[in-house]
Chains A and B, each alone.
Chain A
Amino acid sequence: MVVPSDSWCIRNGFVTEFQNLGQTQQIPDYGTAFRQNDEIRTVISAMSEFMAANEFPLQSLEAELNRINNESVEMSLMQGKSGSVIEESPVEALRRTAKADIILNLDYKVTMVGPRRQIEFNLQAIDAYSSKIISGNTGTSSPVSSATPMTTILEEAVLSFKDNFLAGLQRHFDDLFANGREISVTLLRYDSSPVDFDSEFEFEGDMYELAEHIDLWFSNNTVEGRYSLNDKSANRMRFSQVRIPLYDTVMGKERAADAQSFGNKLARMLRKEPYNLVVGVTPKGLGEVWITIGDK
């Protein structure tokens, strides 16, 4: 999904302002940008074309925003035969946003070189799972006459960085297949839980903390045991750079794995003997999952 960068939106005035604790904050207004700016549509079309040629059709942010808007309207009007309405918690409504594996963050600006103009562009591909930049491209187009249509200059800029950008993606995919997808996992404890992460459970005749059991489980279920335990206390554990396999078998069927499916696997382990915990799994985007013990 190609998303105009925050700086592009601010520079071009496609922002919504609101007051937050006495400070004025700006958030990008993508809907208005797509409706009013032809240039951004040209760049996205050019990028969509070459990505589709490489068998990777891009998700349209504009279409996705429209879908979410329509969904909200329909959900508010929907009624069952008995008059019941669709229920949605504030957190669920907050999470009903556009999601994509890879976000292409696009920025460009036009500069004048004497009577001629050129484009400085910056395109970053960001892995939504790990928030890492997997391909970055910057450059400046050749100066052209001011009479040259902007769409032509923008198309040339896209063609200029296209192959470098694709090579960056290829490196990322090669890494995914070799080392797995990167996610983060946070474990939290509700006060209703009878145990915390320091509670001890038996393993092969010895007593170990629950945190150690979970650590061992990560070691056994990540690609080549790659993960980092960043934070550990009685109430909280946080794992980052967790490399999970791209595909997983669930109920005898192979399917693409994500943070939620990985979290579900850990939850199934914690619900069994000897732990017998009540476990909730809450995905946060594609690359992060929160696992709660003591309640769902």
Chain B
Amino acid sequence: MHFNTFRIMKKTVAYILVLLMAATAVFAQNKERRKSIKSWENYEITTEKVGTEGTKFVKVWGFGKTVDKAVMAAKRNAVHACLFRGLPAGPNANATPAICRDPNTFRNNEAYFEEFFAPGGAYLRFVNMTTDGTPAGQDRRKIKGGYKCALYIQVMYDNLKRQMEADGIAKKLSSGF
């Protein structure tokens, strides 16, 4: 009898431990994602030239522990800039305003954007990478804690804008008329 009770207790403790570990891992992952979204204020982006119809051609930097993570961060940063920051003017191109002009858009739609920018999220549909392979030379720098990589990216700006309008995040030019 005592032996059985001991076995059941042992199993229960094991289950609790497994559950705790899983919960901690999920929590840490979410925390990391939230942290990465919040820390987006710090990236560099430049407009390279006038993109073809409906697109923007930019050079954007991303940080990550590995080169792959830095590349993914760069892609997210490019979409983030189009949405919230706007693109600066380049030597041969005018500045582009942010799609979401209300400074509170991110805060008011945090759940939407967490899903939008989740790994493999919808943001990838609006990114056309125009550099082949992994960044090399000046565009790949080893820094403390990881890599800083630059990518030349074509962002499908008009499609992104239309998606935001369809999802009710940004206002249509014709809304109200």
Distance to closest chain A CB from B132 (angstroms): 24
Q: Report B-chain residues with C-beta under 8 Å of the C-beta of A201.
A: none
Q: How many residues of A contact B (CB 8 A)?
A: 21
Cα of A139 to Cα of B50 in the assembled complex, Å: 12
Which of A21-29, A164-172, A233-241 forms part of the interface with chain B? Answer: A164-172
Measured CA separation A160–B97 after assembly (Å)? 12
- B104 → chain A, closest Cβ, in Å? 15
Distance (whole angstroms) from the CB of A154 to the closest CB of chain B: 12
Q: Judging by beta carbons under 8 Å apart, are A55 and B173 in contact?
A: yes
Of the candidates B52, B53, B91, the one having the most CB atoms from chain A within 10 angstroms of its own CB is: B53
- Report the separation of the CA atoms of residues A170 and B92 in the bound assembly, to the nearest whole angstrom: 25
Contact (Cβ within 8 A) A160 B172: no
A164 touches B176 (CB 8 A): no
Alpha-carbon distance between A159 and B174 when the two chains are bound, in angstroms: 20
Q: A163 contacts B157, CB within 8 Å?
A: yes
**Chain A residues within 8 Å of B101, by CB:** 167, 170
**A156 CA to B92 CA, complexed, in Å:** 10
**In the complex the two chains form, what is the Cα distance from A54 to B101 in whole Å?**
17
Q: Is the interface of B mostly helix, strand, loop or mixed?
A: loop
- Chain B 32-65, CB within 8 Å of chain A: the 1/0 string? 0000000000000000011111000000000000
Does the CB pair A156–B50 fall under 8 Å? yes
Contacts A53-B158, A142-B49 given; does A173 touch B176 at CB 8 Å: yes
The answer, yes or no, to whether B94 is at the interface (CB within 8 Å) is yes
* Chain A residue nearest in CB terms to B52: A159
Q: Is the CB of B174 within 8 A of A54?
A: yes
> From A143, which residue of chain B is reached at the shortest CB distance?
B92
A156-B49 Cα distance, complex, nearest whole Å: 10
For B94, the chain A residues whose CB sits under 8 A away are: 137, 139, 160-161, 163-164
From the candidates A142, A163, A177, name the one contacting B92 in the complex (CB within 8 A). A142
Contact between A159 and B50 (Cβ–Cβ < 8 Å)?
yes
* Chain B interface residue bracket vs A: 20 to 34
Give A163 to B56 CA distance when docked, in angstroms: 11
Q: Which of A59-96 contact B (CB under 8 A)?
A: none
Q: In this assembly, does B118 line the interface, its C-beta being within 8 Å of a C-beta of chain A?
A: no
* Contact across chains for B157 and A141 when beta carbons are under 8 A apart: no
A137 CA to B96 CA, complexed, in Å: 12
A208 to B101 CA separation, bound complex (whole angstroms): 48
| B92 engages A169 (CB within 8 Å) | no
The answer to whether B53 and A163 touch across the interface, beta carbons within 8 angstroms, is no
Q: How far is the CA of A174 from the CA of B177 in the complex (A)?
A: 11
Q: Does chain A have a CB within 8 A of B72?
A: no
B173 touches A56 (CB 8 A): yes
* Partner-B contacts on A (CB < 8 A): 53-56, 137, 139, 141-142, 156, 159-161, 163-164, 166-167, 169-170, 173-174, 177
**12 pairs from A and B in contact (CB 8 Å cutoff):** A55-B173, A56-B174, A137-B94, A142-B93, A156-B50, A159-B50, A160-B50, A163-B96, A164-B94, A169-B173, A173-B173, A177-B176
**B residues adjacent to A (C-beta < 8 A):** 49-53, 91-97, 101, 157-158, 171-174, 176-177
